[in-house]
Amino acid sequence: MVGIPVSPGIAIGPVFGASEQQMVVVRQKIHAADIEAQTARFEAAVLQSRKQLMKLRARLGNLPEDSQAEIAPLIDAYLQMIGPSRLIRGARKRIAERLVSAETAVWDETEAIAAAIMAMPAGDDPAGRKRRADEVREVGRRLTRNLTQTPFRSFSGLPQGAILACENLRPADAALLDPARLAGVATDEGGSDGHTAIMLRALGVPSVLGVAGLGPAVRPGDTVIVDGVAGTVIVNPTPERLAEARRAVTAFGKAQQKLALLRRLPAVTTDRKMVDLQANLEIPAELPLIAKAGAAGIGLLRSEFLFMNREGLPTEDEQTETYRSVIEAMGGDPVTIRVLDWGGEKDIEALQTEGIVPEVGDDNPALGLRGIRLLLRETDLFETQLAAILRASNAGPTRVLLPMVTNIAEVRQAREIFERVARRLRRKGERLPERLPALGIMIETPGAALSADALALEADFFAIGTNDLTMYTLAVDRGESDVADLYDPLHPAVLRLVQFATEAALRMRMPVSVCGEMAGNPKLIPLLLGLGLRSFSMNASAVPRVKQAVRSVDIDDCVRLARRVMEQSDPARIQELVMGTPT
């Protein structure tokens, strides 16, 4: 099976049967006044489940015919059960008549139907009876997951060396994975620069996402090979394939060891130009990897991890402690902390349970109340985080980064709040560094990129986020497998925006870096150097490869390459010039 390679490495192991996980539903009675609200929740979950299944069904076309023949009837059966079926009618009735929550109604109705199937006369197909009961339960589980917004998977039973193969993995789920236990990941959904992909790269777990038809095609215990370089997944390989994959694992390990030797060498081009290579950090578990990778600081600390997988918001003290420990761990190398970037695919339950944001709807969350927009509206949330960063900034060089900026008013407002918080802390006797941390902005919307000259007068530095910049410029969801082939950071429109923003910063002699996934791709480094960029932040595991790329190029050659690329309007030709291969 073929998908999108998102995190390099080759893994061989048994499939973890997370789909068999039992879900615990707390039984809940409701008041008659809540019937309407519970029914509405139930209908929304039915709709969402239906959408998910239709999507799975539509993507089966990419599978070999015999696999399609096996899987399509199963998905059709699920779809039927989610239509005007006994399950749906029964659950609705339970909410209204027995006054139970939507979860309880789904659970009870599913179990009642499964029990009725099992109680039917055995006939000559007891296995078929069990299968039908399991299918009903599977639909019930999908509905419950969608109702409770719980992760699709529970990883507590993950055996050592297992491969997680499932339909979908949310970024918040990926944050719970233990890279020491998990050998590899393969999922049906997902794109190359979505946050799940970013997390998996950060953890260094070989992964292939967007593998159409994978979920229904694998069973717990199947042996699979996940090739995060080629983007392939082989289910139950032949002994020859297995031997070949084992050789590839050894070769990959040796190449990694060679790269590790670069750790202490400077990131300098052949004509002696220094380049700054820093790491992105999404979860504290990555800190040791950053030290090992030879990165010179953290160019992007995505603070979302502090708000994920928890009930309630982190307090100022709690945040201060976390930031301080990261800053101290970097031993004098700078740390750029991005304030909370909620929104889009990064829906954070804690904000919803606290009532800070409305439940994320399906309708355009990427264009809604996200990033700096949310923080400027929820100033308590913003001020708490800024205070924590300021208090921690004693521990070493720190910078503050604002996400999703689109206009200068946002930067001015944020700076006012930042300075007010600093004054308040000083009044209270807090010892802050004499010069406050620099306040920079992400350039990750076309609006920001095209206003870069004006924004350069307001901000202290730019961090170009090519992931969202590509998504918003091309109107292509970065985490969506169906349009993954259209997601192209080398599209001339994206490159022109990167160039415009970079030149605006350089004119002002203002620091500018790239911290999107582009920065971690060694093949793109010559182009970015040629555009004038000298600072990159990437997932830690990419630092050695990028350093190798930096150490093998001459800036004049890079400038010539960038000129040729920027003259092109055909993305395929750009691909050829940069990657050395036509698309």
Return the range that interacts with ligand PEP (CB under 6 A); candidates 33-41, 135-143, 327-335, 459-467: 459-467
Cα 528 from Cα 526, distance rounded (Å) = 6
Q: In the complex with ligand PEP, which residue's Cβ is closer, 91 or 339?
A: 339
Task: State yes or no: residue 302 binds ligand PEP (CB under 6 A).
Answer: yes
Q: In the complex with ligand PEP, which residue's Cβ is closer, 67 or 303?
A: 303
Cα 175 from Cα 347, distance rounded (Å) = 13
Report the DSSP beta bridge partners of residue 16: 164
Task: State yes or no: residue 515 binds ligand PEP (CB under 6 A).
Answer: yes
Nearest approach, Cβ of residue 17 and ligand PEP (Å): 31
**Closest to 38 measured CA to CA, from 152, 147, 149:** 147
**Residue 167 interacts with, from Mg ion, ligand PEP, none (CB under 5-8 Å by kind):** none
Kindly state the number of chain residues that form the binding site for ligand PEP, as judged by CB under 6 A: 11
Nearest approach, Cβ of residue 504 and ligand PEP (Å): 18
Taking CA atoms, 71 is separated from 48, 60, 64, 185, in Å, by 20, 8, 11, 21
Would you call 6 helix, strand, or coil by DSSP?
strand
Q: In the complex with Mg ion, which residue's Cβ is closer, 63 or 414?
A: 414
Nearest approach, Cβ of residue 449 and ligand PEP (Å): 12
Nearest approach, Cβ of residue 534 and ligand PEP (Å): 18
Q: In the complex with Mg ion, which residue's Cβ is closer, 151 or 465?
A: 465
The tokens describing 502, both together, are 């970079």
Nearest approach, Cβ of residue 214 and ligand PEP (Å): 24
> Is 527:561 a contact under the CB 8 Å cutoff?
yes
Q: Which candidate in 166, 491, 515, 558 is catalytic?
A: 515
Return the range that interacts with ligand PEP (CB under 6 A); candidates 142-150, 151-159, 461-469, 482-490: 461-469
Q: Which candidate in 166, 195, 491, 558 is catalytic?
A: 195
Return the range that interacts with ligand PEP (CB under 6 A); candidates 150-158, 313-321, 351-359, 462-470: 462-470
**Closest to 348 measured CA to CA, from 405, 310, 302:** 310
Cα 150 from Cα 311, distance rounded (Å) = 13
DSSP 369-428: S-THHHHHHSHHHHHHHHHHHHHHGGGS-EEEEE-S--SHHHHHHHHHHHHHHHHHHHHT
Taking CA atoms, 207 is separated from 13, 196, 471, 520, in Å, by 13, 10, 22, 16
Alpha-helical (H) ranges within 464-567 are: 466-474, 492-507, 525-530, 543-550, 555-567
Task: State yes or no: residue 103 binds ligand PEP (CB under 6 A).
Answer: no
Nearest approach, Cβ of residue 345 and ligand PEP (Å): 9
Q: In the complex with ligand PEP, which residue's Cβ is closer, 198 or 205?
A: 198
Using CB under 6 A, which of 9, 171, 299, 465 touches ligand PEP? 465
Nearest approach, Cβ of residue 302 and ligand PEP (Å): 5
**Closest to 178 measured CA to CA, from 197, 209, 157, 147:** 157
Question: Is residue 166 annotated as part of the catalytic site, yes or no?
Answer: no
Cα 539 from Cα 286, distance rounded (Å) = 9
Task: State yes or no: residue 467 binds ligand PEP (CB under 6 A).
Answer: yes
**Residue 109 interacts with, from Mg ion, ligand PEP, none (CB under 5-8 Å by kind):** none
> Is 302:343 a contact under the CB 8 Å cutoff?
no
> Is 190:169 a contact under the CB 8 Å cutoff?
yes
Q: Which of residues 447-506 bind Mg ion (CB under 5 A)?
A: 465, 468
Task: State yes or no: residue 466 binds ligand PEP (CB under 6 A).
Answer: yes
Q: What is the DSSP letter of 583?
A: -
Nearest approach, Cβ of residue 441 and ligand PEP (Å): 12
Nearest approach, Cβ of residue 355 and ligand PEP (Å): 24
Task: State yes or no: residue 444 binds ligand PEP (CB under 6 A).
Answer: yes
Cα 227 from Cα 523, distance rounded (Å) = 20
> x/- site string to ligand PEP, residues 194 to 223, per CB under 6 A?
----x-------------------------
Cα 506 from Cα 531, distance rounded (Å) = 11
Nearest approach, Cβ of residue 363 and ligand PEP (Å): 20
Using CB under 6 A, which of 276, 468, 480, 488 touches ligand PEP? 468
Using CB under 5 A, which of 282, 378, 444, 477 touches Mg ion? 444
What angle is formed at CA 383 by the lines to CA 380 and CA 385, rounded to 5 degrees? 110
Q: In the complex with Mg ion, which residue's Cβ is closer, 345 or 557?
A: 345
Return the range that interacts with ligand PEP (CB under 6 A); candidates 8-16, 211-219, 236-244, 460-468: 460-468
Neighbour count for residue 460 (Cβ, 10 Å)? 18
Q: What is the DSSP letter of 532?
A: T
Q: In the complex with Mg ion, which residue's Cβ is closer, 460 or 468?
A: 468
Cα 565 from Cα 124, distance rounded (Å) = 68
CB hemisphere CA count around 225 (13 angstroms): 21
**Residue 535 interacts with, from Mg ion, ligand PEP, none (CB under 5-8 Å by kind):** none
> Is 528:464 a contact under the CB 8 Å cutoff?
no
Q: What is the DSSP letter of 359?
A: P
The residue whose two tokens read 């946002």 is 410
Would you call 490 helix, strand, or coil by DSSP?
coil
Cα 342 from Cα 374, distance rounded (Å) = 8
Kindly state the number of chain residues that form the binding site for Mg ion, as judged by CB under 5 A: 3
Return the range that interacts with ligand PEP (CB under 6 A); candidates 25-33, 244-252, 382-390, 465-473: 465-473
> Is 528:514 a contact under the CB 8 Å cutoff?
yes
**Residue 466 interacts with, from ligand PEP, Mg ion, none (CB under 5-8 Å by kind):** ligand PEP
Q: In the complex with ligand PEP, which residue's Cβ is closer, 302 or 399?
A: 302
Q: Which of residues 338-377 bind ligand PEP (CB under 6 A)?
A: 341
Q: Which of residues 136-155 bind ligand PEP (CB under 6 A)?
A: none
Question: Is residue 515 annotated as part of the catalytic site, yes or no?
Answer: yes
Catalytic residues: 195, 515
Q: Which residues bind Mg ion (CB under 5 A)?
A: 444, 465, 468
Q: Which residues bind ligand PEP (CB under 6 A)?
A: 198, 300, 302, 341, 444, 465-468, 515-516
